[in-house]
Amino acid sequence: LTVLGLETSCDETAASVVRLSAAGAEVLSSVIHSQIDEHAAYGGVVPEIAARSHVEMIDGVARRAMSEAGIDYAALDGVAATAGPGLVGGVMVGLSYGKAVALARDLPLIAVNHLEGHAVSARLGAETTYPFLLLLVSGGHCQLLEVRGIGDMSRLGTTIDDAAGEAFDKIAKAMGLGYPGGPALERLAEKGDGSRFDLPRALLGRKDCDFSFSGLKTAASRLAQTCETDQDRADLADAVQKAIARQLAERTERAMIAYVEQHPELEQAEGALKQPSAAREAIGPKSKALHFVVAGGVAANKTIRRTLEDLATKHGFGFLAPPLIYCTDNAAMIALAGAERLEKGLTSDIDVAARPRWPLDEARANADPVHK
């Protein structure tokens, strides 16, 4: 199945052609036009500027994705477009363009949840089989999910205030690092040693798998005002990065322990700290392995990847993360989610609406009204 994917939910205009076969996913092209320069002066994404820029760019970006893939529209099996969540003005541009291509070329349309795109993005780099435990850490979301298959996910935990990427961005802004803050803060942290800073640890006593970053954000933003030298700032960046990594690991560890307990049918990886249980013994040889995936923009952070990889190994999970280029927003993940949906016959009506809010697990998604 060959699918054209379109992504316009935030500040990247992106298009990609992905071919899904028994051998896995092959990215034939992935074109990303970033609007960072257009928003940098404002310290964040300005919705009106974003929507206008998507209108100007989408046709050229989509045509380039087709020509770089070296295929004709006749070779496509479907068109997938992000239908939410995100800035609705931008979402409508990509979705409307996708509808136009679908109508003009008589192709099925697949409306894709942007978060579902992030959820499947690790499959762009390696053969990843379902099910897996997922930590989705992006600019707007921080969630732990059990992913059983495309469109079949349930949420184990979420942030009660800010997302991890948002914390990176806001702290970086307070430190004068510009937008987007995550990559800049990571570069600065390489030269720092944060051990002298004592940042707050949230939700320590809580038994759930939720996250909270607002206390850290406030404390770090206040400390940013006290930094005088470049070394002070580098030290604070290191402390912030480690504090975010630590909370992600602490909450993910809770989810891993629960997931292992609930899935005695899955094999634990070699060399792991095995969790013995009567249920595991009773089932005998396992056909599938435990897998943990981290995805979303923050998964590009090397300290965070390493921390989570160690954690996965400790608890018997195989570790997977998308190649760095597919961590932040791209259309290859949308094309892949679209292809997987198409394979299952999950296509959309041509009058499908954009959804500024759209939770990933269907139980919550269906309870949420669709914004026409």
d(CA 119, CA 145): 9
Q: What is the nearest approach in angstroms of Fe ion to the Cβ of residue 118?
A: 6
φ and ψ at 112, to 5 degrees? -110, 135
CA atoms within 13 A on the CB side of 202: 24
Site string for Fe ion, 321-340 (x = CB under 5 A): --------x-----------
φ and ψ at 67, to 5 degrees? -70, -35
Residue 108 or 338 having the CB closest to ligand ATP: 338
What are the percentages of helix, strand and coil residues in the chain, rounded to 5?
45, 20, 35
Q: Is 11 an interacting residue with respect to Mg ion (CB under 5 A)?
A: yes
Q: What is the nearest approach in angstroms of Mg ion to the Cβ of residue 46?
A: 13
Site string for Fe ion, 124-143 (x = CB under 5 A): --------------x-----
Q: Which positions ≥6 away from 359 have C-beta within 8 Å? A: 155, 365, 368
Q: Is 16 an interacting residue with respect to Fe ion (CB under 5 A)?
A: no
Site string for ligand ATP, 282-311 (x = CB under 6 A): --------------xxx-xx----------
Known binding residue 139? Answer is yes
The CB-nearest residue to ligand ATP is 297
CA dihedral 127, 362, 331, 349 (to 10 degrees): 120
The length of the chain, given as a count of residues: 372
Known binding residue 329? Answer is yes
Per CB under 6 A, contacts with ligand ATP among 213-252 are none
E strand map for the chain: 2-7, 12-21, 24-34, 78-84, 109-113, 132-137, 142-149, 152-158, 266-267, 288-289, 291-295, 318-320
Q: Is 169 an interacting residue with respect to Mg ion (CB under 5 A)?
A: no
Size, binding site for Fe ion by CB under 5 A: 2
Site string for Mg ion, 312-341 (x = CB under 5 A): -----------------x------------
Which residues of the chain form contacts with Mg ion (CB under 5 A)? 10-11, 329
